Structure 1
Amino acid sequence: MSRRTSVIICVYTEDRWEDIGAAVESVRRQRRQPHELIIVVDHNPDLCLRLKREHPDAIVVENAQARGLSGGRNTGVGIATGDLVAFLDDDAIADPGWLHAFEAAFADPAVVAVGGFTRPRWATGRRPRWFPEEFDWTVGCSYRGMPAQRSRIRNVMGGNAAFRRDVVIEAGGFRTHIGRSVRGRASRPLGCEETELCIRITQRRPGSVILFEPAAVIEHKVTAERARFAYFRARCFAEGLSKALVTESVGAQDGLSSEVSYATRTLPAGVLRGLGDAVRGDLAGLGRATAIMVGLAWTACGYLGGRIRSAVSAR
């Protein structure tokens, strides 16, 4: 059965003009052409007009919901006419076989969402030696501990994912109070809106399958700012805050099921790996081991802070 895929790219700032152009061009170069390309602009009329002039072959619209990534994605889903909706970050480049790999993964009618493999493209030229692969999720990329082959997973990562459109609509879309919202230049690097949606879908539709498809590859730009330890720490804390919102929505058992295994297996193995590297002469291994411990601690602090904030608000 032939599938029609609507590709949605959410954008918000002229500062990423060249990145947006590269993302759009990578969609045009797909071996399997999309049914349509939708660019959703987050409350930036000037950027919207500029994109309409530059990309007349795309559907360019303004975010009709709350400011932020979740509202933009919901807007895109609402106007899409494809059977599937695929999301691509505005600072990412999709490999030519990206869409074909996604569509092939939906052959099983039980599959409701598919996540792809995201490689980091370091603006600094290479990965900082202290930066552990276990924490590549802090820069929106696939990380050590994820499956190496097509596998069933709990949730996708939103910058490289596809959903059945009707399933997203049936579930009520992305929660706009979860995830990142940019106001002017200020933004706390929150996330997890796609995690909450995936869990909500599988709770409401028992038997639904979410897959990781490593053949659906994109490269995600990592700016010099995001390669700094200060951002790493802030992103970990924000992830903890986001996880608190997720568990409030879908429950702690489902909301933390993957995180428990990650924290008790993947991260200890990473610390030991870093220490072993240091013993063998790679002193940066100490930095990686330390970063893993700091990242886990700050994520836990963010989660506890978020739970306390929710409890106070409830009272």
Structure 2
Amino acid sequence: MSRPVNRFAHSTVAGGFSVVICVYTEERWNDILAAVDSVRAQELPAHELILVVDHNRPLLERLALHYAATAAVRVLANAGPRGLSAGRNTGIAAANGEFVAFLDDDAVAEPAWLGHFAAAYADPAVLAVGGRTEPLWSSGRRPPWFPEELDWTVGCTYRGHPPGLVRVRNVLGGNASFRRSALTAAGGFTTGIGRDGRRLPLGCEETELCLRLARAHPEAVLLVDDRAVIRHRVPAARQRLGYVRTRAYAEGLSKALVTRSVGARDGLATERRYTTRVLPAALGRGVRDFLAARPGGAGRALALLTGLGAAAAGYAVGTLRAHGNAGPPGADRAAREEEPR
């Protein structure tokens, strides 16, 4: 494969980027290969690429054989308990680049992805840089009822997220990078918060990590550069209101775990702006579109109300559990039929 012209040759990346992709199922075989190819096609070449396989020996052996002749790709087994956080920690422990970047296994990075990350690290105060994640709808286009404000439920950047190169509370784990020294000092990702192979699609492990980094280093700068773009596949199973409800409920549960660790003030700072400014504006647009007989207006308003209600319910249940109450019987029933990741 020929290398594209390197527009970022003078970026400050003395130790380079170790790119970590965590994988778990052979059903995403083609997606995994596409993700790897997108990293190998970066204008700023990665120092190394690490595939971490989450307790799936057939997939581990298949990937090891596929990339046996590719020195720049290392295939490792998750050395910790099942789950995304432990997989990422395995990648961090194996990495020897100055920076560690994470890419979802069902996403592809634009050629300038690593270059934009690298440019931001010219400031030594910057400990983490994230990017913009755009949806790749399996149907070819966004469902008319699916509001952009809920793109976070399918792992993408939502409408209302500040644009440009901006300071943020936390980056999103599927499109993010960190100084490896900061990750190591912080002890990596906390297991028990994010996805762990169960049916419920939990999250927020990167939020908790970023809050710990900020507390340990008050002068730290965490950034998102929306020029660092990846495109994330959204399968048909996630283009349903039921999945939005389940994912939002799981997010509420996860937020309760985070706030238990770091407090509600820090743990919900971004969410307050979202629920008081972004959601009301989106609901207003949905209602106006419905009244004007535009396609999807009523559906978008319903989806927004469903997502908000499910997240609030999940947070309430998670808070009760944190105080020794398991929550109402059957609270997770609606989630058990959904896709795990």
Aligned ranges 1:1-315 → 2 under 5 Å: 1-3=12-14, 4-56=16-68, 57=70, 58-182=73-197, 186-312=198-324
Distance 1:135 1:161 in 2: 20
User: For residues 313 and 166 of structure 1, do their structure 2 counterparts lie closer, same or farther at Cα, with a shift above 3 Å needed?
Assistant: farther
* Counterpart amino acid of residue 149 in structure 1: G
* Counterpart amino acid of residue 131 in structure 1: F
Distance 1:107 1:267 in 2: 35
The structure with more helix, counted as a fraction of residues: 1
* Counterpart amino acid of residue 83 in structure 2: G
For this pair of structures, how many residues does the alignment match?
A: 311
Instruction: Structure 2 unaligned segments of length 5 or more: list them.
Output: 1-11, 327-341
Q: Deviations over 1:118-148 (max 9, x none)?
A: 0000011111111111010000000001112
Distance 1:280 1:229 in 2: 23
SS in 2 for 1:20: helix
Distance 1:274 1:207 in 2: 41
* Counterpart amino acid of residue 233 in structure 1: R
* Counterpart amino acid of residue 2 in structure 1: V
* Counterpart amino acid of residue 154 in structure 1: R
* Counterpart amino acid of residue 44 in structure 2: R
The percent identity for this pair of structures is 56
Q: Deviations over 1:19-70 (max 9, x none)?
A: 0000000011111100000000001111111101111321100000111000
Q: How many angstroms does 1:313 deviate by?
A: 6.1
TM-score of the superposition, structure 1-length normalised? 0.97
Q: How many angstroms does 1:166 deviate by?
A: 0.8
TM-score of the superposition, structure 2-length normalised? 0.90
SS in 1 for 2:260: helix
Equivalent in the alignment of 2:331: none
Q: Deviations over 1:234-257 (max 9, x none)?
A: 000000000000001111110000
Distance 2:295 2:243 in 1: 22
Distance 1:311 1:248 in 2: 10
SS in 2 for 1:93: strand
* Counterpart amino acid of residue 263 in structure 1: T
CA RMSD, Structure 1 to Structure 2 (Å): 1.1
* Counterpart amino acid of residue 122 in structure 2: A
Equivalent in the alignment of 2:6: none
Distance 2:78 2:314 in 1: 29
Q: Deviations over 1:131-171 (max 9, x none)?
A: 11101000000000111211000001100000001101111
Q: How many angstroms does 1:174 deviate by?
A: 0.4
Distance 2:182 2:242 in 1: 38
Q: Deviations over 1:157-197 (max 9, x none)?
A: 10000000110111111011100011xxx521100000100
SS in 1 for 2:324: helix
